[in-house]
Homo-oligomer: A and B are copies of this chain.
Amino acid sequence: MKPKLASLLTKGKALFLAYDQGLEHGPTDFNDDNIDPIYIIKIAREGGYNGVIFQKGIAEKYASEIKKSKVPLIVKLNGKTKLAPGDPISPGLCTVSEAQKLGAKAVGYTLYIGSEHEAEIFKEFEKIERDAHKKGIPVIAWVYPRGKGTEGKSKEELLAYATRTGLELGADIVKVHVDVDAKALAWAVKAAGKVKVVAAGGSKLSEDELISKVKEYMAAGCSGLAIGRNVWQASDPLALTKKLKKAVFG
C-alpha cells in the first residue's frame, strides 16, 4: 500500500515536534516544564504541528492526551541511551503493529551509517519498513553518519551519503542533522531524489540564528523540520513556533 504522506504535510511541507530526547540523551535536556509529556502535547496542539514524535512508552501512557490533542502521532520505533558504549546501534522498541494501534500516522527509525553495526541496523530497518509499507504507514528515517567508518570523511560527503541512503533504502522522509553550507545541503537534497528531506533542529540556538538557518534549509530544498529542544526549551514556544511556521511554509 502506498504510504499515506498527505495527512502529515502542509503544502508538501512539515513541521514536526520531536520529543525522543528523554531516551536518547536522558532527562538532562529537560526542565520542570518540558520534562512532562503533557507540556509537549500542549505545544504541539496549540502550535499546530504536523506531528509529534514519541517513543512507545510515552505514546501509551499519554494516549488519551495525545488523542484529544488531534496532533498526528509519530512513533519512534527504535532508541538507545547515550550511555550505550561503542559504535551506535538503536534496537527496535516497538513494532509497526503496536504503533498503528497507538494511532501513529508515521513511524521513525534511526540508522547509523558507518557504524560497525550498520549491517544489523539495515536489516532491522528493512523489516520495519516492509511492515509499515504493507499498512500504508510512512517511514521517517533518521540517517546519522556515526562510528568508526565515518572518521576522516567530510561533513558534506557524509550528509549527501545520509540522504541518499534514505532513498536507496526506501524511506519516505529522511531526517538529517544539517551541518554544511547551503550548496552542500542542496546537493544532499538532490541526492535524496523523490524522498523528502527534513532537518533536525539540534541543540538550542538563539531564535534569530535558528530562524535564519531554517530559511536556509528551506531555500536549499528541505521539506521541513523535526525540531525539539529549540522549541520546548524556548521561553515562549508558541511565539517561536509561529516564526518557524512562517519560515517553513512561507
Bound-state Cα–Cα, A27 to B41, Å: 38
Most buried by B among A56, A117, A122: A122
Chain A, 132-160, contact with B by CB distance < 8 Å: what is the 0/1 string?
Answer: 00000000000001011110010001101
A220 at the B interface (CB under 8 A): no
A179 at the B interface (CB under 8 A): no
Of the candidates B36, B81, B119, B165, which one forms a contact with A161 in the assembled complex, judged by CB atoms under 8 Å apart?
A: B81
A180 at the B interface (CB under 8 A): no
B90 touches A26 (CB 8 A): no
Of the candidates B28, B30, B56, B117, which one forms a contact with A169 in the assembled complex, judged by CB atoms under 8 Å apart?
A: B56
Of the candidates B26, B117, B195, which one forms a contact with A157 in the assembled complex, judged by CB atoms under 8 Å apart?
A: B26
Chain A, 18-29, contact with B by CB distance < 8 Å: what is the 0/1 string?
Answer: 001011001110
A199 at the B interface (CB under 8 A): no
Bound-state Cα–Cα, A172 to B202, Å: 31
Of the candidates B86, B94, B161, B171, which one forms a contact with A27 in the assembled complex, judged by CB atoms under 8 Å apart?
A: B161
Segment 77-97 of A: residues with Cβ below 8 Å from B: 79-81, 83-87, 89-95
- CB-CB under 8 A for A161 and B83, given A55-B169, A167-B57: yes
Q: List 12 A-B contacts (CB under 8 A).
A: A20-B168, A28-B160, A36-B193, A55-B168, A56-B169, A61-B193, A79-B168, A83-B113, A83-B158, A92-B126, A93-B122, A93-B126
